[in-house]
Amino acid sequence: MKINFSDHFQSLCYQHGDSEAIVNVERNRRYSFKQFHLLTNQIVNMMRDKLSLRDGDCFLNILDNDNMSLLHVTTIFKGDATGAFANYRDSIEEHRWQLECVKPKVVFVENSLLSSHAEMLKQQGALIVCMDPLDKPQAGVQYFWDLLDGVSDDNPSIEIDDREHVALIRFTGGTTGKGKPAMYCVDNWLSIRDSFYAQPDKVWNGQTRLLHLAPISHGSGLLWLAAFYAGGCNLTLNEPDLVRYCETIEIEKVNSAMLVPTILYRLLELPEAGNVDLGSLQTMFYGAAPMSPAKLSLLQQKFGNIFIQIYGSTEHPAIALSLSKLDHRVETPEAKTRLASAGRVTAGVELVIKDDGGKTLDAHEVGEIWVRSRGTIQGYLNSPEQTAAEITNGYWRSGDVGYKDELGYVFLVDRKKDMIISGGFNVYATEVESAINGHSSVFMSAVVGVPHDEWGEAVHAEVMLREGQTLDHQELIAFVKEQLGSYKAPKTILLVDELPMSVVGKVLRRNVREKYWQDSGRRIG
């Protein structure tokens, strides 16, 4: 079906024209719906007229949140070139292979990366557009706001096919290996919006003020259209500074946000959080990694019953599962058990549990989670084999292992690649981490299998303690044994100051595991 996204935006302007649509905190930029509509029209016209970006061309954004907001979906969908998102905080080597993968005609980049990236970008044949003024002219580098000078802000009136056109490319997080370039059509993103609106908690309206701290190139950006189409405001922060985050909530009267569990744990420990008024906060989405039920209970005590768990992914960005605010009320033993789940399936999404042979399993049988809806990606760029390996009959094969109970709650037990086989028993790292993280002295943990001559693998945990805490290894092992039994408890524990984290806040078990297997005769990935 054809779509003119500029017309969508114009309709929103008729309803919400003078309401705030975008606030960039660090750069102190504020745009109403009408102002942002005209600006994004101008950006698209500039990209077509001055940068010659047309259908079949690609541009890459290596930007912080505030600049990314100018070149996000609300701009990309107005034009016919394909936009690609890189995470600004990824390594230069990660950016290098992303460049080689998408072969962009133009790269929009933060000035802070020019010294490290300019030569590489030029070698790839890309025109560089920087977002701040240059100290002195550089060959092959243009300034974004200069390019906009004199450009019309008329509606570009470009029609694209909302299902066939590759509008956007995002890269998977790569927590289990190198990321993959996922391709999206416009309807994939409209399905994300619709999946949020289908949730039991009706949190989106013209008063929504949604704060983005995590990169909007990744998970946080999935909430963008839900706030936007409801007439709400998207606010961006660049630096992962939790003190400023709390201050921004107070100053801007933020009522909605999303954080990954590891950052929520840090917020729980932040003394400064008690010095600001966070009373405006009504909804906190969390996802991307399992949440410790014990830590969740502490968060609820501190912030109230404002939490909603969501389960989506790069390959299926529409919300497949959610655990509502009502589900977070712990009034019965059954309700407490539900907190360990990822919630129930969103209306409009199909989710099945399959065995290795592709057979659909019954309630409480453990298998791989397969998901299908309008949100399933078009595939991976230039990789039909990988696409076929992970997408079957429209279902994305998630690689997550779990089961569904008789009430439809889905419990994730682990990633397939993170399952530990010790002495013939399957041990799920996520389950052991959840038990460890429930100890009052523990901040967070990473559980992996390490080589063992007799058992093949032994359960091992690297553990970060809360500030000022001490803990005996055997005490922690006994604590886990009491909850899970002997064979699931870690055989060894290493206390560490830090755990390896991805740029979006996920613990990298792969990095923990690798150092124990690198000198082994066999190696797991």
pLDDT digits (tens, 9 = 90+) for 375-431: 999 999 999 999 999 999 999 999 888 999 999 999 988 777 777 877 666 787 888
CA-CA-CA-CA torsion sign (418, 407, 190, 260):
negative
Output the CA–CA distances (angstroms, integers) from residue 382 to 103, 313, 379, 385, in the order listed.
12, 20, 9, 9
Q: Please name which of 419, 412, 186, 452 lies closest in space to residue 310, comparing C-alpha atoms.
A: 412
pLDDT digits (tens, 9 = 90+) for 257-289: 999 888 898 898 888 877 899 999 999 999 877
Q: b vs e for 494-506, b when ≥16 Cβ sit within 10 Å of the residue's Cβ? A: eeeeebbbbbbbb
Domain made up of 337-414: CATH architecture = Roll (2.30)
Asked if 51 contacts 106 with a C-beta cutoff of 8 angstroms, the reply is yes
**pLDDT value of residue 483:** 84
Looking at 92-241, list the stretches that DSSP marks H as alpha helix, in order from N- to C-terminal side.
Answer: 92-102, 114-123, 144-148, 186-197, 224-229
Asked if 310 contacts 256 with a C-beta cutoff of 8 angstroms, the reply is no
- Going by the DSSP 8-state scheme, the letter that residue 306 receives in this structure is -
Amino acid identity, residue 224?
W
How many CA within 13 A on the CB side of residue 266? 12
How far apart (Å, rounded) are the C-alpha atoms in residues 150 and 46? 9
What is the domain class of 423-517 according to CATH? alpha beta
What residues of the chain score a pLDDT lower than 70? Answer: 173-178, 423-425, 453-455, 504, 519-525
CA-CA-CA-CA torsion sign (226, 232, 235, 240):
negative
| pTM of the complete model | 0.84
Superfamily for domain range 2-323: ANL, N-terminal domain (3.40.50.12780)
How far apart (Å, rounded) are the C-alpha atoms in residues 113 and 126? 15
In the chain, the percentage of residues whose pLDDT exceeds 90 is: 69
**pLDDT value of residue 420:** 82
The values of phi and psi at residue 76, to 5°, are -55, -40
- Going by the DSSP 8-state scheme, the letter that residue 59 receives in this structure is E
DSSP per position, 403-469: EE-TTS-EEEEEEGGGEEEETTEEEEHHHHHHHHHTSTTEEEEEEEEEEETTTEEEEEEEEEEPTT-
Q: Which H/E stretch holds residue 42? A: helix 33-49
Q: How many Cβ atoms from other residues are within 10 Å of residue 419's Cβ?
A: 16
Terminal Cα distance for the chain, rounded: 42
Amino acid identity, residue 195?
S
Domain boundaries, the chain: 2-323, 337-414, 423-517
Q: In what order do the strands lie in the sheet with 127-130?
A: 141-143, 127-130, 106-109, 58-63, 82-87, 168-171, 181-184, 379-380
* Residue 384, Cβ density class (10 Å: 0-12 exposed, 13-18 middle, ≥19 buried): exposed
- Going by the DSSP 8-state scheme, the letter that residue 398 receives in this structure is E
